[in-house]
C-alpha cells in the first residue's frame, strides 16, 4: 500500500521542480538565519541567489559531524526556541551528542516519512504496533510511534528491553507489527524459541520494521523464518529527524528515499566529488523541509549507492542499496578494509552458527590481530575443541575468501555473546591508532 502516491510516485520531472523550490527556500533560510551557513557560504563566495535549482546543489558547502560538534547544541537552529516543540539527540561518535530540534511541522513531516515506510507493510487501522525501539532522546521510539499514529494504527510504546514482557504482550495483545533494531528482533526470536509460555504459533506478528544499524540479507532470512514475518528495512538518522528518511517497499529490493524531504547525493569521500551514477560512496543529505534545523549537504559517513532504475512497486523515489556500514565502522586490518557486516553475511550462510559475533582487533609485535568470537547453535555445540574443529575450518575458509584476512576463531557456547536491546556493538578495536 502506498501512503502518499502523489509524492511517492511523482514524475522525476515534477520531483526535480519540487526539490528545486524547496532547496531555494532552505538555502535562503540557512543564509539568513544560521550564522554558521552564512559564514560557510561567504567563504565559498556563494549567495542564495546563485541557487536556482537542485542542479546547483554542488555549489553549497558540506556539513560534517565536526561542524555539528562545534555548533553544539543549538548553533544550527534557524528558529527561536519558542517555535521548537521537541529535542532529540543520538550518542554520536565525536563525544558530544548529535542534537536535532523540531517544530510542529518538522514532527509532522517526520511522521509522514515513517508512515510511508509502514504503509509498505500495509500497516493501518487495527494493527498493533509494538514499538521496541528505545524511547527517549533516541529517535527510534517516538519516531516509529508517531508514524504508527499517522497510519491510524494502535501504538504500543513498550520501548526496548524487558524481553520476557515483550513476548508476553506480543501474545496477549495480538501484536501484528514489530519495530526495533534487527539485533533486538533476533534476540526476541530467540526468547520466543526458548519460552515455555509463548509459542510462535500463538502470535499474530506479520511484519517488522528494522533499522538503526546495518543488517544483511542473511539476517533478514533468519528473522523472517524465525518470526514468520516480512522484515522491512527502515533507514534514518538523527540529523535528518530520525527513522523514516526512507524504507523498503513490498519488493524488499532497496530503500526508497523520501527525496521530497531529503535530497541524497553520493560522493567520493576523498575527493568530495559526486561518484558516477550507481557507484558506491558516501551518502550526503540536504534537508528540504526541515524548519528548526535545516542542514545542507550533510556527510553521513554511511557508505552505499543509489539505484535509479524504476522499482516494480510504482514508486519513483530513488532507491538506496543496503548500507555497507559507516566509514567510521570500517576497520583496516593488515591493510585490508573490513566491515563488521561482512562477518554477519558469512555467519548467516552457515546453518551451524548463530548470527551473533564479536570482533576484537589489536596489535601485537607490530602486526594486527583479528579475533572473532562466534557461537555454534545449540544442536552443534560441544565444549570439546576436537568436536569444534570440523565447524571452524569452513568458516575460516569462507572468511579468508570473502574478507581476505585470516581470523582467530573462538567458538563460544550458544548465548554467550552479549544480546543487545538497541544497536548491537560488534567490535572492540584496541589499537591505539587506526592505520
State the residues that interact with ligand DLL by CB under 6 A: 90, 133, 139-140, 143, 211-214, 233-238, 242-243, 300, 302, 323, 326
423 CB neighbour count, 10 Å cutoff: 21
Q: From residue 341, give the alpha-carbon distance in Å to each of 142, 296, 344, 403.
A: 27, 29, 5, 11
- CA 285/CA 266 separation, integer angstroms: 9
Asked if 110 and 148 count as a contact pair (C-beta separation under 8 A), the reply is no
Minimum separation from the CB atom of position 357 to ligand DLL (A)? 17
Residue nearest ligand DLL by beta-carbon distance: 211
Minimum separation from the CB atom of position 186 to ligand DLL (A)? 15
Minimum separation from the CB atom of position 131 to ligand DLL (A)? 10
| Closer residue to ligand DLL in complex, CB, 30/160 | 160
- CA 379/CA 383 separation, integer angstroms: 12
**Is 83 exposed, middle or buried, given 0-12, 13-18 or 19+ CB atoms closer than 10 A?**
middle
* Cis bond before residue 73 (omega within 30° of 0): yes
Residue 256's SS3 state is: strand
C-alpha cell recorded at residue 105:
511541522
Minimum separation from the CB atom of position 243 to ligand DLL (A)? 4
Closest listed residue to residue 25, CA positions, set 59, 1, 55, 48: 48
| Closer residue to ligand DLL in complex, CB, 140/264 | 140
| Closer residue to ligand DLL in complex, CB, 19/181 | 181
Q: What share of the chain is helix, strand, coil (3-state, %, to 5)?
A: 35, 25, 40
Minimum separation from the CB atom of position 90 to ligand DLL (A)? 4
Minimum separation from the CB atom of position 68 to ligand DLL (A)? 11
| Closer residue to ligand DLL in complex, CB, 61/325 | 325
| Closer residue to ligand DLL in complex, CB, 326/419 | 326
The CA-based dihedral angle spanning residues 318, 321, 324, 328, taken in that order and rounded to the nearest 10 degrees: 0
Minimum separation from the CB atom of position 409 to ligand DLL (A)? 26
| Closer residue to ligand DLL in complex, CB, 189/212 | 212
Closest listed residue to residue 139, CA positions, set 93, 169, 98: 98
C-alpha cell recorded at residue 151:
497510519
| Closer residue to ligand DLL in complex, CB, 160/198 | 160
Minimum separation from the CB atom of position 177 to ligand DLL (A)? 14
| Closer residue to ligand DLL in complex, CB, 329/368 | 329
- CA 375/CA 99 separation, integer angstroms: 37
- CA 347/CA 19 separation, integer angstroms: 42
- CA 47/CA 281 separation, integer angstroms: 28
Amino acid at each position: 500500500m502506498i501512503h502518499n502516491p502523489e509524492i511517492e510516485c511523482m514524475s522525476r520531472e515534477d520531483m526535480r521542480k519540487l526539490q528545486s523550490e524547496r532547496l531555494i527556500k532552505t538555502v535562503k533560510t540557512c543564509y539568513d538565519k544560521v550564522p554558521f551557513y552564512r559564514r560557510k557560504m561567504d567563504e565559498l563566495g556563494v549567495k542564495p541567489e546563485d541557487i536556482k535549482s537542485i542542479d546547483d546543489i554542488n555549489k553549497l558547502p558540506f556539513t560534517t559531524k565536526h561542524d555539528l560538534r562545534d555548533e553544539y547544541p543549538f548553533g544550527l537552529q534557524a528558529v527561536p526556541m519558542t517555535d521548537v516543540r521537541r529535542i532529540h539527540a543520538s550518542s554520536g561518535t565525536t563525544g558530544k551528542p548529535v542534537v536535532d530540534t523540531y517544530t510542529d511541522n518538522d514532527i509532522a513531516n517526520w511522521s509522514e516519512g515513517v508512515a510511508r515506510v509502514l504503509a509498505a507493510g500495509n500497516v493501518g487501522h487495527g494493527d498493533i504496533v509494538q514499538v521496541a525501539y528505545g524511547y527517549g532522546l533516541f529517535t527510534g521510539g517516538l519516531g516509529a510511534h508517531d508514524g504508527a499514529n499517522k497510519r491510524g494504527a494502535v501504538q504500543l510504546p513498550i520501548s526496548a528491553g524487558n524481553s520476557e514482557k515483550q513476548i508476553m504482550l506480543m501474545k496477549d495483545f495480538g501484536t501484528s507489527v514489530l519495530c526495533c533494531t534487527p539485533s533486538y528482533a533476533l534476540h526476541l526470536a530467540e526468547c520466543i524459541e526458548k519460552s515455555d509460555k509463548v509459542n510462535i504459533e500463538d502470535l499474530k506478528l506479520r511484519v517488522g520494521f528494522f533499522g538503526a544499524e546495518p543488517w544483511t540479507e542473511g539476517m533478514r532470512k533468519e528473522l523472517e523464518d524465525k518470526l514468520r514475518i516480512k522484515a522491512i528495512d527502515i533507514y534514518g538518522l538523527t540529523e535528518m529527524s530520525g527513522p523514516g528518511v526512507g524504507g523498503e517497499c513490498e519488493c524488499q529490493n532497496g530503500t526508497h528515499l523520501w527525496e521530497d524531504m531529503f535530497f541524497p547525493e553520493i560522493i567520493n569521500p576523498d575527493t568530495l566529488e559526486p561518484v558516477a551514477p550507481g557507484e558506491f560512496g558516501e551518502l550526503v543529505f540536504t534537508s528540504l523541509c526541515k524548519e528548526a534545523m535545516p542542514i545542507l549537504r550533510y556527510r553521513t559517513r554511511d557508505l552505499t549507492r543509489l539505484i535509479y532504475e524504476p522499482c516494480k512497486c510504482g514508486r519513483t523515489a530513488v532507491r538506496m542499496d543496503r548500507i555497507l556500514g559507516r566509514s567510521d565502522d570500517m576497520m583496516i586490518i593488515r591493510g585490508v578494509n573490513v566491515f563488521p557486516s561482512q562477518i554477519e553475511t558469512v555467519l548467516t550462510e552457515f546453518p551451524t552458527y548463530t548470527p551473533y559475533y564479536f570482533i576484537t582487533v589489536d596489535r601485537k609485535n607490530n602486526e594486527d590481530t583479528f579475533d572473532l568470537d562466534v557461537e555454534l547453535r545449540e544442536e552443534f555445540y560441544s565444549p570439546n575443541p576436537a568436536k569444534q574443529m570440523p565447524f571452524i575450518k569452513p568458516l575460516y575458509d569462507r572468511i579468508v575468501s570473502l574478507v581476505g584476512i585470516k581470523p582467530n576463531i573462538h567458538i563460544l557456547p550458544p548465548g554467550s555473546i552479549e544480546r543487545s536491546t538497541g544497536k548491537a556493538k560488534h567490535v572492540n578495536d584496541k589499537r591505539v591508532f587506526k592505520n
